[in-house]
């Protein structure tokens, strides 16, 4: 099950295609979905979580809490819509493209991909691009 929750005025235009894309991505990575809760929020909301749970006093676009066991994916993904807007401008991409990248980024973390080192970040970006292309092809 995938739940989309909103702590801001933002709402996804159409949840069903995104839901299906996430399911397809998880399946392609040979994992199974238990439950993912997406929470779309603002910078202030996400900053509080970042300080409280991760002891990071910075703004970020996404925080994911992974409760997965083995190949069964379960977790909460918090996304700051404000950060996504700013990052889209900084990277010269559309808001929707950056939003989809962040949405799938959290899922890829649950599938075991990391992005702390340069090499890990390169693999993560390649996987993001692969699944963004698959979404665009639908």
Task: Say whether 109 counts as a known binding-site residue.
Answer: yes
Indicate the pTM of the whole model: 0.90
Structural domains in the chain (count): 1
CATH code of the domain containing 60: 3.40.390.30
Report residue 92 as tokens. Answer: 């010269």
CA distance 94 to 71: 33
CA distance 12 to 32: 24
Percent of the chain with pLDDT over 70: 99
Mean pLDDT along residues 61-65: 90
* 68 touches 108 (CB < 8 A): no
**8-state DSSP, 130:** H
Structural domain that includes position 96: 2-137
Task: Say whether 105 counts as a known binding-site residue.
Answer: yes
SS3 of residue 57 by DSSP: coil
The pLDDT of residue 45 is 92
Task: Say whether 90 counts as a known binding-site residue.
Answer: no
Question: What is the CA 97 to chain-centroid distance, rounded?
Answer: 12
The model's pLDDT over 111-134, given as tens digits with 9 standing for 90+, comes to: 999 988 999 999 999 999 999 999
């Amino acid at each position: 099950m995938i739940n989309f929750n909103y702590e801001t005025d933002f709402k996804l235009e159409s949840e069903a295609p995104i839901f299906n894309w996430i399911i397809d991505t998880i399946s392609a990575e040979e994992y199974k979905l238990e439950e993912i809760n997406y929470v779309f929020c603002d910078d202030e909301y996400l900053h509080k979580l970042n300080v409280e749970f991760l002891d990071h006093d910075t703004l970020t676009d996404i925080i994911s809490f992974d409760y997965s066991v083995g190949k069964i994916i379960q977790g909460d993904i918090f996304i700051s819509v404000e950060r996504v807007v700013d990052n889209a401008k900084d990277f010269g991409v559309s808001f929707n493209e950056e939003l989809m990248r962040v949405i799938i980024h959290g899922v890829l973390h649950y599938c075991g991909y990391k992005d702390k080192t340069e090499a890990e970040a390169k693999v993560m970006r390649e996987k993001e691009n692969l699944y963004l292309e698959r979404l665009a092809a639908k």
